[in-house]
Amino acid sequence: MTRLCPLCECSTYQDFKVLDHRVIVKCQACEFVYTNSYSSKALKEHYKKRYYSSSTDPRIEQWINDKERTFKGLVISVVKAFAKDITSLLDIGCGTGGFLMSFSKQSPKTQLFALEQSNDAIESLKRRMPSLIFKGAHSNDLKGDDQLYDVITLLQCLEHVENPQSLCDDIYNSLKPNGMLFVTVPNRKSYKVFLEGLEKEDMCYGDETHLQFFTKKHIRQVLQNSGFSKIVCLRDFGRSESRGIMSLIQFVFRLLGISTELRFVAFK
Ligand SMILES: [Zn+2]
């Protein structure tokens, strides 16, 4: 099976790399790197191994605690970038909800919504945040829904989906006028990929559940295609697990565009 480039729909590509169950190619027109074919069965197995295998998996609690500083930092960035009261926020691919819990602590008046595919994640999060409203599993569930949001967050999610363009299109349609998307993805041009190599590093290519591989240019491309404007790459200092000198190094990497994660905001 051959897929068209998810971003520019070009049908010609060059071989890039075969990693575990994924055949990864590079679009000849726009140079986007994407998974052309993969094993659905292997993908399912990798999700279980890497994330959680039940709603009471102890890794859920640990993940939320380990990432507390990052979630807090993300909340500060979202609030600062929107610069107005946020009355409604939808988190797509909320996982076990570390970000949403942190958000509700810092902005208790915001009505929070979530999209999530994993029943285990939903079950676990429903116990922690009974007031959270689930809108479904996929962005398809947003179609035909009249609800519009001030802010939609898409944290480490776009690299997992089969069609990132249609997800961004759906997000655009679900935002209020002047609404904001906050998106983070692994950076395929990070220092880690460069130093450790495609097979060894595990934040971008090395995660067997990742299907799309973004650079700054390609995030801009996918957002522009959907109609977004005022697309800005965020390079704030800190707002992650790093402390001390590591925060400074991370900040320099962000300025150079070689950080492990890319953070963007875009407006409707
Ligand atoms: Zn392309």
Separation of alpha carbons 261 and 254, rounded Å: 8
Q: What's the confidence (pLDDT) of residue 187?
A: 95
Give 61-108 pLDDT, tens digit per residue: 787 778 888 899 999 999 999 999 999 999 999 988 999 999 999 999
Distance 126 CA to ligand 1 centre (A): 39
pLDDT-derived band at 170, boundaries 50, 70, 90: very high
CA 175, 237, 198, 17 torsion-angle sign: positive
Distance 250 CA to ligand 1 centre (A): 30
Distance 268 CA to ligand 1 centre (A): 23
Distance 169 CA to ligand 1 centre (A): 17
Distance 116 CA to ligand 1 centre (A): 28
Distance 10 CA to ligand 1 centre (A): 5
CB of 263 closer than 8 Å to CB of 231 = no
Say if residue 234 is exposed, middle or buried (CB neighbours under 10 Å; 0-12, 13-18, 19+): middle
Say if residue 257 is exposed, middle or buried (CB neighbours under 10 Å; 0-12, 13-18, 19+): middle
Distance 33 CA to ligand 1 centre (A): 8
**Cα–Cα nearest to 158, from 221, 93, 220, 215:** 93
Q: What's the confidence (pLDDT) of residue 1?
A: 60
- For residues 10-37, give the mean pLDDT: 96
Q: What's the confidence (pLDDT) of residue 143?
A: 84
CB of 21 closer than 8 Å to CB of 38 = yes
Which protein residues have their CB within 5 A of the ion that is ligand 1? Answer: 5, 7-8, 10, 27, 29-30, 32
Q: Decide which of 212 and 193 is more confident.
A: 212
Question: Which residues sit opposite 213 in a β-bridge?
Answer: 33
- Structural domains in the chain? 54-267 (3.40.50.150)
Q: What's the confidence (pLDDT) of residue 112?
A: 97
Question: What is the share, in percent, of the chain residues with pLDDT greater than 70?
Answer: 99
CB of 112 closer than 8 Å to CB of 91 = yes
Give 177-205 pLDDT, tens digit per residue: 999 999 999 999 988 888 898 888 888 99
